[in-house]
A and B are shown apart, each in its own frame.
Chain A
Amino acid sequence: MCTLESAPFFDISDPAFAMHSDAVRSARAQSWFARTNYGVAVLRYNEVSRLLKDQRLKQGSAQWPEHNGVHSGLFYDWWTKNLLVLEGEDHHRIRRLLNPAFSPRHIEPLNARFTALAEELADGFIEAGECEFVRDFAEPYATRVLCILLGIPESEWPTIARLASTVGLALGVHLRRDLEQVEGAIHELYLYAEALIADRHANPGEDFISRLVLANREGDSLSDAELRNAIVLLIFGGMDTTRNQLGLAMQSFIHNSEQWDLLAGRPDLGRKAVEEVMRTNPTTTWVTREAIEDFTYNGLDIARGTTVHLFTQVSGTDPLAFPDPEIDLLGEHAPHYGFGGGVHHCLGHFVARADMAAALPLLARRMRNVRVDGAAEWMPDSGNTGPVRLPLRFTPAP
């Protein structure tokens, strides 16, 4: 048993820190946890699975604005009232009212539109035999899926993509420097959200936003301000993540080309492809929690206020849980935690699963012998990772 003092140490704010590294694999073999410059990192599957859902831990981002010297303003008000950081009944009430619109029953009918969108985007670059995958597919696809869901004209996707990326700066280390830009983007997204809400109040239909406007439980419903906040969270949480995850999927399948070939002929494996990519190469490389009381878990004393990082990729390839951890579309694997878990489990995961499951088999069929062609650019491994730029060359197929 490792003590805290003797456990491996990682500087997770070092841009060179890599989840897929011998140092991390060796630490995982030695100990279920590591020390970091921001709390404890959990490395093994069983421990991640338990602690992710442990009620002695809360979501760890509530204090993020304060930790960066931001104590008021538009960003502060949005962040501190959003579902991601709320706890207890404040969280559960809003989650209950939002959940039904995200039901798989309502998402399934969108599959045909997701497939048509993927075909349209692929048509735009397939014949050339090359593309910049983030620019030509991942970003427009992820953003237009959001537009489809929210009922925003798809032609406005570049504006939505720009605003979502700008709000995303809020998670960076330069929050204070970028605050004015972040608040400007939140303000613009509020205007989109307010227009959608007003329109559906006046003209309710069978669409996603109408379901949220009309959501009601025992006389309780979301206020327009709560709904506006949630719509901005959805755009913030739904665009970058899907864009990044699609880029990571290409990386995984380039390294496992026989799996890509398998997927090309088996579109029914699209859902399994999403699960396997997210188990072995998730964009959200860790999920953060904070201890709300002192407790001992598996021999480790965890003091109230300790930050606990649950490493998703590292635990998803833990040989104790996955004897052959490589991506395998025909294998049976325990569930991954790329969508987090417990009460804060990703709200939009049925949408993300459906849209990526539509896109990946189609890309596998049409892009043969894919390889990286030139210099790709990557985000650091900490937090949400993925390619910024991914130039690919391939043999086109109709």
Chain B
Amino acid sequence: MKVYVDRNLCDNHGQCAISAPAVFRINSEGILEYEDDVDGSRRNDVEDAVDVCPVQAIFIRDGE
């Protein structure tokens, strides 16, 4: 499963890092880092991250 964050929208709140800490983290500079190729077993966590993002900047791309 491919994960994509639109950096033009992302405001580095870090809510995604609460929902799916294995995929998203806020680095020491306060900037989001994330895995873009994620095992399907983490789908529920990533979907929660997509939903919770205050600026709705996270997208899942299936079938790539």
Contacts and interface: CB of A to CB of B under 8 A. Distances in A.
B35 to A, nearest CB: 19
B60 to A, nearest CB: 13
Nearest to A104: B51
Interface string B50-64: 011011100000000
Contact of A104 (B12, B14, B15, B56): B56
B18 A342 contact: no
Contacts, number: 46
Main secondary structure of the interface of A (DSSP, over half): helix
Contacts of A102: 52
A95 interface: yes
A369 interface: no
B54 A49 contact: no
A53 B55 contact: no
B1 interface: no
Interface residues of B, number: 15
B48 interface: yes
Interface string A324-343: 00000000000100010111
Interface in A38-60: 49-50, 53-55
A53 B14 CA distance: 8
A300 B46 CA distance: 38
Contacts of A256: none
B11 A99 contact: no
A162 interface: no
A96 interface: yes
A103 B54 contact: no
Given A341-B54, A345-B13, 20 more contacts: A50-B30, A53-B11, A53-B12, A53-B13, A53-B26, A55-B30, A96-B18, A96-B19, A99-B18, A99-B52, A100-B48, A100-B51, A102-B52, A103-B52, A104-B56, A335-B11, A339-B54, A343-B13, A343-B15, A345-B15
